[in-house]
Structure 1
Amino acid sequence: MSPPPHGRTRRVDLVRLREKLPTNVADVLGRYERHLTLERDLSPHTVRAYIGDAVALLGHVAGDEPENADVGRIDLAGLRSWLAAQHAAGASRTTLARRAAAARTFTAWAHRAGHLAADPGPRLAAPRPHRMLPPVLREEQAKEAMDAVSSGASEGHPVALRDQAVVELLYATGIRVAELCGLDLDDVDYSLRVIRVLGKGGRERTTPFGVPAGRALRRWLDEGRNALVAPDSPPALFLGARGGRLNQRAVRQLVHEVVAVVPDAPDIGPHGLRHSAATHLLEGGADLRTVQELLGHATLATTQLYTHVTVERLKAIHDRTHPRS
């Protein structure tokens, strides 16, 4: 039998470690989890990551005696030692930066809640993550992907109609896969060609879509969705084969399969379509503020990553086509 993936091994270890923590620390973690879920409205995946990092930090500070762990013992030296141990174990700069941010979130909350006399988090320095240029489709590759999924829907099978609408909407709007799966029927305004999206942190925004996505959506609703509706189906815009809300894993698999038929295209998922949409908007002349609003980025700095993508692509085109490049 092959060994379990590293990520799965870490999750199992953290579950076992959490079980060994004293009752009072477990209660603190429970309150922190409710804070992340109810007050900050973070996704279940993000909450699990934050709680896992808090458990790992508490276990490290407690050393060989997790049953004696104490939130009040967390200090700057403990935070630095925790990150140093992960660095020695081979954690990447990006992982270290993320876990440092999670630790600062935990200590800030613990201090406000009265579990820590002082918050050491603001004094914790961590390496900045490398800003990797995301792989994106060229415009002609995106068109080929849309043509491929349209061809699959030509015979009118309900799942194929849904898949076309999903891919068209992802590329047309640049929304996240979780945002797409969370859409309900009344989130779409066909007269204005916009959707109402509930993004990260519960932030709501309105995002427009074009004529091709509108046509694909209308055909899915008129000809496909009713074939998948079950008695207990939710009012979701997109349904799975058994009538439940379409899940993110199915969407990721769909996008990978669609892009795989495009010659020389990078292997991307829904987030790659999001990157591609942002890049093509900027290349078409959209300003950063507009793209920030469309994508639902909290800060302009996140959107600015895409300017590096377009600069790299412009340089590549220049090198390939200019007579004196």
Structure 2
Amino acid sequence: MDGEPVLSVLADQREGYLAHIAVERGLSRNTLAAYRRDIARYERFLASHGVHALDDVTPRHVEEFAQDLSEGSADAPGLAPASASRTVVAVRGWHRFALAEGWTGVDPSADVKPRSIPQRLPKAISTAEVSAILDAASVGEGLGPLRDRALLELVYATGARISEAIGADVDDIVLDPQEESVLLRGKGNKERVVPIGGYAVDALHAYLVRARGPLARGGRGGPALFLNTRGGRLSRQSAWTILRAASARAGVDNVSPHTLRHSFATHLLSGGADVRVVQELLGHASVTTTQIYTTVTQDTLREVYTTFHPRALS
């Protein structure tokens, strides 16, 4: 690299790393943009310390950068724990990649750990509350209630993200009695096939037979499973509005599309499902992500134990 402008080399190395993780990890456009911002902040920090090449970075530089992320500096405010942790992960990944590519001789970030993030337990609602919301979704006349019930039944039956549910096409649904399932496309466009329960199958069948055809005639009859009144694919915002309206009618507060996904996982684990099976159903890359739900069910077990065991309390 002798004779090349230092900043040009650093930019090439940065773009090489971003291209690598985009392909290898299947990152979404938004996640990749976040990583790009993280690396840009790191480059500005290094430049302010007179460092313009990865080979000149020391462990002390990385440690001070990680500290500045949390506490802030004159140039940039501090970040929330999750954002600070992600930025450190991006920086460590860049240095590891540089070492693997032979651009540097050492990894100065090896001993710098991302800041631990306080664990926030997902919100789950009871099965009775879920049933009330699903029943409320089908209240009313016309085609909308059939679609709304099918949408929410599918989300709860499969643990789908709302983006996965509205992104599904008609051909992704199999309603054959021997193989009732849906093909979902998750983060990084990773696909998984998830079984569908009887209630969701009935709701989907009613929607497909009685409502989707008339809705499709309002547009071009595209492949989308869930259509709006103009015949186009239902939007994320419209799906949110559908759930909010059903929740309000059911008298259940503070419900978001992710609430049904959280409840799906919690109810399965509470019923004795293996955490690795739930991991596959949710489309989590790591079982560690799924294990947050086990804390919820352990709390439930502890409450039952202390309430009913004759010698739980002294």
Mapped pair 1:156 → 2:139: no
Q: Give the one of 176, 199, 222 matched to 2:161.
A: 176
Correspondence for 1:47: 32
Mapped pair 1:284 → 2:271: yes
Mapped pair 1:305 → 2:292: yes
Q: Give the one of 210, 214, 226 matched to 1:238.
A: 226
Mapped pair 1:35 → 2:35: no
1:187-214 deviation line (CA, Å, top 9, x unaligned): 1111111112233344432211111211
Correspondence for 2:184: 197
Correspondence for 1:217: 204
Pair 1:78–1:180, CA change in 2 (3 A): farther
Mapped pair 1:118 → 2:118: no
Correspondence for 2:3: none
Equivalent-residue separation in structure 1 for 2:207 and 2:189 (angstroms): 28
Count how many residue pairs are aligned between Structure 1 and Structure 2: 299
Correspondence for 2:238: 250
Pair 1:129–1:177, CA change in 2 (3 A): same
Q: CA deviation at 1:274?
A: 1.0
SS of the aligned residue for 2:139 comes to: helix
Q: CA deviation at 1:29?
A: 4.1
Q: CA deviation at 1:61?
A: 1.3
TM-score, normalisation: structure 1: 0.79
Pair 1:85–1:222, CA change in 2 (3 A): same
Q: Give the one of 126, 133, 148 matched to 2:121.
A: 133
**Highest CA radius of gyration, 1 or 2?**
2
Determine if contact 1:135/1:266 at 8 Å carries over to the other structure: no
Is the deviation greater in 306-315 or in 186-195?
Answer: 306-315
Correspondence for 1:84: 67
Q: CA deviation at 1:28?
A: 4.2
Is the deviation greater in 101-110 or in 315-324?
Answer: 315-324
Correspondence for 2:213: 226
Q: CA deviation at 1:301?
A: 2.4
Q: Which runs of 4+ in 1 moved over 6 A?
A: 320-325
Determine if contact 1:59/1:69 at 8 Å carries over to the other structure: no
Q: CA deviation at 1:71?
A: 4.7
Correspondence for 2:95: 107
Determine if contact 1:156/1:223 at 8 Å carries over to the other structure: no
Pair 1:225–1:128, CA change in 2 (3 A): same
TM-score, normalisation: structure 2: 0.81
Consecutive unaligned residues in structure 2, runs of 5 or more: 1-5, 73-77
Determine if contact 1:136/1:266 at 8 Å carries over to the other structure: no
1:280-313 deviation line (CA, Å, top 9, x unaligned): 1122222223222222222322222212101223
Aligned-partner residue type, residue 256 of structure 2: G
SS of the aligned residue for 1:41 comes to: coil
Equivalent-residue separation in structure 1 for 2:105 and 2:20 (angstroms): 19
